[in-house]
Amino acid sequence: MEDKTVGKEKKAKGAKEKKQEEEKAPQAAKKRKDLPDNFKFIVRMVNTDINGELTVLLGLAKIKGIGLRAAQTLTKLASIDSKLLIGSLEDSQIAKLEEAVMSFVETAPGWMVNRQHDWETGDDLHLVGTDVEIFRRDDVNRMKMIRCYKGIRHERGQKVRGQRTKANGRTGLQVGVIRQKLMPGQATEEKKE
């Protein structure tokens, strides 16, 4: 009698799972049908591939050097609705957004740019894409060359910004606390006591 009930429960579970899968499948198909014919699943902007199914706000934030706040400002400057899908934008709107990204330093306030008072030029810059990594690497190399404290810490692979190093950031093969080795004469003195 128990075998029959167990068999019925298994069939019921199998039927529920199939029903859930069938419900999910039409939603995925619906999602594709709602998209326009000229929808772009990948949008290329500032040397970055952006998923076209993201909103304009989140898509811009995927570009290195642009956060959510800067993306919000850029959508207002380009007068584009930030809730639209970025893949549904026309080529002219995408070009307008890209132009706004490239000229962001001219329109944004000084506190919003990501490189204020550049070391070489003294100008305010807003770096995006691969420029962020290139400038960061150049800055670290400059600090190493002039042998400043931060440069030396970078060279040694230590923490740079004043964090604790006694208990955290340990590197190397040994893990845990290492006891000092006793000298041969010290071992006999400890035994006598």
Which band of pLDDT confidence, cut at 50, 70 and 90, is reported for residue 101?
A: very high
The confidence score (pLDDT) of residue 167 equals: 83
Token representation of residue 94: 């995408």
Domain covering 42-112 in this structure, CATH number: 1.10.8.50
pLDDT tier, 173 (very low <50, low <70, confident <90, very high otherwise):
low
Q: Taking 60 as the threshold, does the pLDDT of residue 31 lie above it?
A: no
pTM: 0.66
pLDDT at 139: 94
Per-residue pLDDT tens over the stretch 55-65 = 999 999 999 99
